[in-house]
C-alpha cells in the first residue's frame, strides 16, 4: 500500500515539476517568440509557410479560424479514409491485408481525426504498416496540433490587452499555430521519446511479421500516441503489449508523455494572460480531481472481484493486468488515460472491479476537462471557468467578469451549449443503441456489465477519449453512430469555443475593482470543482447507477 502511494506521489511530483518548464516553453511558441530550437527549426518553419502559401502576419477572426480548422480536418479525414480503403496498393509490409470495410473506415477515420482513437479493429491484424504510419500516426500528430491551436486561440483572446479596436478581433492564424505546435512541441518530444522507448524494447522495424511475432514501426507511433493524448494502439491490447510498453520505465515515460502537455498548458495560459496564479489555480482544480480518481481506482483494484472471491481466489484483482505493472501502475494508468483524452490502456478496463470501472466513466463525464486532451482539456476547462464565473457573479450579485472582460448573455449561451453538447451526444448515442435492437449485437457481457459496455462506448467516443470496455464490438450501426458521435463531440465544441474566443477578444478590458470576483484563489477553485462535478458527473448519474454502481452493489457473480 505504502509502496503504491509512494510511486503515485513520485509520478505526480514529476508532472508538477515539468509544468512551469514546458508551460513556459509553449507560451513562447504560441506567442511567436524565439525558442532554443529556433536556430534549427526556424528555416523549416519559414519554408513550410512558403509551401503552404500562408501569410502569418495576417490574423484571422474566429469565423475564419474555425473555417480553417474544419477544412483542414475534413481534408485529413478524406485522406485517411482513402488510405484505409486502398490497403491492397500500399508500399511496405502489408501482410496481405485487404481494404478496411467502409463502415470501419468511417469509424476509424473519424476516430483519429478527432483525437479519439477509438478502435473497432485490432491494429496488428487489420492495418498495413503504411496505414499505421502515414495514415493513423499522422493524424496522431495533426489532431493534437489542432487541439493545441484552438487552445492557443482561446488563450490569446483572453490575453489581448486592448479590446474594441480592429486587432482585438483576431485570435491568431490557424496555419501558424498548426505548424508551430507540430514543429516546436510535438515532433521534438516525440523523436526523443520514441528512441527511449526503443531502448526499453519497444519494437521499431519495417521487417514485417516474423516467427509468429507481429511487429512493425511501433515506437515512432507509440511516442506520439501518448504525447498527443491519442491512445490508438499499434496492437489490439494497446500499451499492455510488451512490444508497445515493455518495462516499468517505458510505462512511466508513457504516462508522463500523456500528462505533460495538458498539465503544462495551464502554465502556458497563466503566462500568456499575464498572471501565473490563474494558471496554477486551474492546475490545482485539475490535480485535485485527478488525485481523487487515482485514489479510488487504486483502492478498488487492491481487492479481488466477486467472481474471484466466489471461486476461492485470494488477492488483488490481477485479471487483465500484467505483472510488471501490477495493480498500482494499472490503476494510475487508468486514471491518467481517462482524465486526459488519451484512452490508451495497459490493463483490461472491462475486467476492473465495478468501482474501479466507474472511475474512468466519471473521468470522461467531466467532459475531458481534467487535464483532458492536448489543447482540448484546457479549452474545455476554460468553458467551465466561465460558467463558474457566471454562477459566482450571480451569487455576489454583480455582472460576471473574467480577466477584466464582462461575461454577458451571448458568451454564457455559447458556453452552455459547449458544455452540454458532449453529454447530449453521449447519452443520445447510448440511448439509441440500448433502446433499439441495433445496439445488441455489439454487447459482449450480460446484465449491468453489458449496459456499462454500451454507456462506456458512447461516453468515450463523444468525449473523444477512445478507451473501451473492449468486449463491445463494431457492427455497422455502432461504427456509424460512434463515428458521428466522435465528429460531433469534437467539432461542435471547437466551433463554440472559437465563437467564445471571438466574442471575448473584442471586449473592452476593465481593471479589476474591489467587488471583482477573483479567479486565482482557492475559493474560486472550490467553486470550479463544484461546477465541473455538478455539470459533468451528475448529468450521467442515473446512467452510472444502472451500470457500474449496480454492479458494485452486487457482491456475487450474476
Partner 1 sequence: MRPGRDLTTAAIAIVLFTGVLGIGYPLAITAVSQVAFGARADGSRDLIGTPRLTAAKRPDPAFFQPRPSATGYSASATFFSNRGPNAASARAFYRHALAAYHAREDRYSPGLTDADVPVDAVTTSASGVDPHISPANAAIQARRVAAVRGIAPARVLALVAAHTDGRFLGVFGEPGVNVQALNRALGR
Nearer to partner 1 (CB atom), residue 239 or residue 519: 239
Buried b (16+ CB within 10 A) or exposed e, 169-205: bbbbbbbbbbbbbbbbbbbebbeebbebbbebebbbe
Residues numbered 344 to 383 that lie near partner 1 (CB under 8 A) are 345-348, 350-354, 357
Interacting stretch for partner 1, rule CB under 8 A, among 17-25, 233-241, 266-274, 373-381? 233-241
247 near partner 1, judged by CB under 8 A: yes
Q: State the CB neighbour count (10 A cutoff) for residue 326.
A: 18
511 near partner 1, judged by CB under 8 A: no
Residues numbered 74 to 113 that lie near partner 1 (CB under 8 A) are 74-76, 79
524 near partner 1, judged by CB under 8 A: no
Interacting stretch for partner 1, rule CB under 8 A, among 7-15, 287-295, 416-424, 487-495? 7-15
17 near partner 1, judged by CB under 8 A: no
Q: Tell me, what DSSP letter sits at residue 242? A: T
315 near partner 1, judged by CB under 8 A: yes
Nearer to partner 1 (CB atom), residue 124 or residue 411: 124
Query: How far is 290 from 11, CA to CA, in rounded Å?
Result: 12
Query: How far is 385 from 370, CA to CA, in rounded Å?
Result: 12
- Long-range CB contacts for residues 329-334, cutoff 8 Å, separation at least 24: 329/7, 329/248, 329/251, 330/301, 331/294, 331/297, 331/298, 331/300, 331/301, 331/356, 332/7, 332/8, 332/11, 332/255, 332/294, 332/298, 333/239, 333/251, 333/255, 334/297, 334/359, 334/360
122 near partner 1, judged by CB under 8 A: yes
Residues numbered 376 to 415 that lie near partner 1 (CB under 8 A) are none
Distance of CA 15 to the CA centre of its chain: 17
Residues numbered 321 to 340 that lie near partner 1 (CB under 8 A) are 321-326, 328-330
Interacting stretch for partner 1, rule CB under 8 A, among 30-38, 163-171, 240-248, 459-467? 240-248
Residues numbered 127 to 186 that lie near partner 1 (CB under 8 A) are 133-135, 137-138, 141-142, 175, 178, 182
125 near partner 1, judged by CB under 8 A: yes
Nearest distance in Å: CB 154, partner 1: 20
523 near partner 1, judged by CB under 8 A: no
Nearest distance in Å: CB 236, partner 1: 5
Q: Kindly write down the DSSP assignment for every residue of 153-217, as one continuous string.
A: HHHHHHH-S--SSGGGG----HHHHHHHIIIIIIHHHHHHHHHHHHHHT--B-SS--BTTB---B
* Selected binder of partner 1 within 12, 64, 492, 533 (CB under 8 A): 64
Nearest distance in Å: CB 121, partner 1: 11
Nearest distance in Å: CB 192, partner 1: 10
Using the Cα atoms of residue 154, residue 414, residue 462 and residue 450 in order, give the sign of their dihedral: positive
Residues numbered 200 to 219 that lie near partner 1 (CB under 8 A) are 201, 203-207, 209-210, 212-215, 217, 219
Residue 210 grid cell: 516474423
Amino acid at each position: 500500500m505504502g509502496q503504491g502511494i509512494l510511486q503515485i506521489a513520485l509520478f505526480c511530483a514529476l508532472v508538477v515539476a515539468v509544468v512551469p518548464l514546458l508551460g513556459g516553453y509553449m507560451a513562447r511558441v504560441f506567442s511567436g517568440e524565439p525558442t532554443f530550437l529556433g536556430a534549427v527549426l526556424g528555416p523549416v518553419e519559414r519554408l513550410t509557410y512558403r509551401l503552404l502559401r500562408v501569410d502569418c502576419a495576417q490574423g484571422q477572426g474566429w469565423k475564419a479560424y474555425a473555417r480553417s480548422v474544419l477544412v483542414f480536418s475534413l481534408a485529413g479525414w478524406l485522406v485517411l479514409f482513402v488510405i484505409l480503403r486502398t490497403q491492397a496498393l500500399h508500399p511496405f509490409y502489408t501482410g496481405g491485408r485487404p481494404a478496411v470495410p467502409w463502415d470501419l473506415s468511417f469509424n476509424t477515420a473519424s476516430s483519429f481525426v478527432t483525437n479519439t482513437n477509438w478502435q473497432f479493429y485490432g491494429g496488428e491484424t487489420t492495418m498495413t504498416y503504411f496505414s499505421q504510419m502515414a495514415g493513423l500516426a499522422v493524424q496522431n500528430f495533426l489532431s493534437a496540433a489542432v487541439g493545441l491551436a484552438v487552445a492557443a486561440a482561446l488563450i490569446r483572446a483572453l490575453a489581448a490587452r486592448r479590446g474594441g479596436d480592429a486587432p482585438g478581433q483576431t485570435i491568431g492564424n490557424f496555419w501558424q499555430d498548426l505548424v508551430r505546435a507540430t514543429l516546436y512541441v510535438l515532433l521534438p518530444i516525440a523523436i526523443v521519446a520514441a528512441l527511449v522507448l526503443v531502448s526499453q524494447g519497444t519494437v521499431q522495424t519495417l521487417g514485417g511479421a516474423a516467427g509468429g511475432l507481429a511487429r512493425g514501426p511501433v515506437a515512432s507511433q507509440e511516442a506520439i500516441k501518448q504525447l498527443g493524448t491519442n491512445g490508438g494502439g499499434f496492437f489490439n491490447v494497446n500499451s499492455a503489449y510488451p512490444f508497445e510498453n515493455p518495462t516499468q520505465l517505458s510505462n512511466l515515460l508513457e504516462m508522463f508523455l500523456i500528462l505533460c502537455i495538458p498539465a503544462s498548458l495551464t502554465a502556458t495560459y497563466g503566462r500568456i494572460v499575464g498572471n501565473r496564479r490563474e494558471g496554477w489555480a486551474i492546475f490545482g482544480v485539475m490535480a485535485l480531481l485527478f488525485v481523487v480518481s487515482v485514489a479510488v481506482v487504486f483502492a478498488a483494484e487492491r481487492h479481488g472481484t466477486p467472481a474471484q472471491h466466489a471461486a476461492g481466489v485470494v488477492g488483488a484483482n490481477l485479471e487483465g493486468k500484467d505483472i510488471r505493472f501490477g495493480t498500482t501502475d494499472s490503476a494510475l494508468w487508468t486514471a491518467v488515460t481517462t482524465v486526459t483524452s488519451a484512452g490508451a490502456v495497459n490493463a483490461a478496463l472491462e475486467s476492473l472491479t465495478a468501482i474501479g470501472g466507474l472511475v474512468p466513466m466519471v473521468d470522461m463525464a467531466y467532459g475531458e476537462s481534467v487535464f483532458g486532451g492536448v489543447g482540448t482539456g484546457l479549452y474545455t476547462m476554460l468553458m467551465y471557468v466561465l460558467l463558474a464565473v457566471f454562477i459566482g457573479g450571480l451569487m455576489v450579485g454583480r455582472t460576471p467578469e473574467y480577466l477584466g472582460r464582462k461575461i454577458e448573455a451571448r458568451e454564457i449561451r455559447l458556453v452552455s451549449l459547449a458544455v452540454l453538447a458532449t453529454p447530449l451526444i453521449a447519452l443520445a448515442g447510448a440511448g439509441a443503441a440500448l433502446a433499439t435492437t441495433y445496439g445488441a449485437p455489439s454487447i459482449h457481457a450480460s446484465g449491468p456489465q453489458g449496459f456499462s459496455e454500451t454507456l462506456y462506448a458512447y461516453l468515450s467516443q463523444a468525449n473523444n477519449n477512445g478507451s473501451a470496455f473492449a468486449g463491445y464490438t463494431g457492427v455497422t450501426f455502432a461504427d456509424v453512430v460512434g463515428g458521428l458521435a466522435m465528429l460531433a463531440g469534437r467539432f461542435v465544441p471547437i466551433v463554440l469555443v472559437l465563437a467564445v474566443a471571438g466574442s471575448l477578444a473584442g471586449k473592452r478590458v476593465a481593471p479589476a475593482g474591489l467587488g471583482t470576483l477573483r479567479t486565482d484563489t482557492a475559493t474560486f477553485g472550490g467553486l470550479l470543482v463544484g461546477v465541473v462535478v455538478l455539470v459533468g458527473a451528475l448529468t450521467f448519474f442515473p446512467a452510472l447507477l444502472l451500470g457500474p454502481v449496480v454492479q458494485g452493489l452486487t457482491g456475487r457473480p450474476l
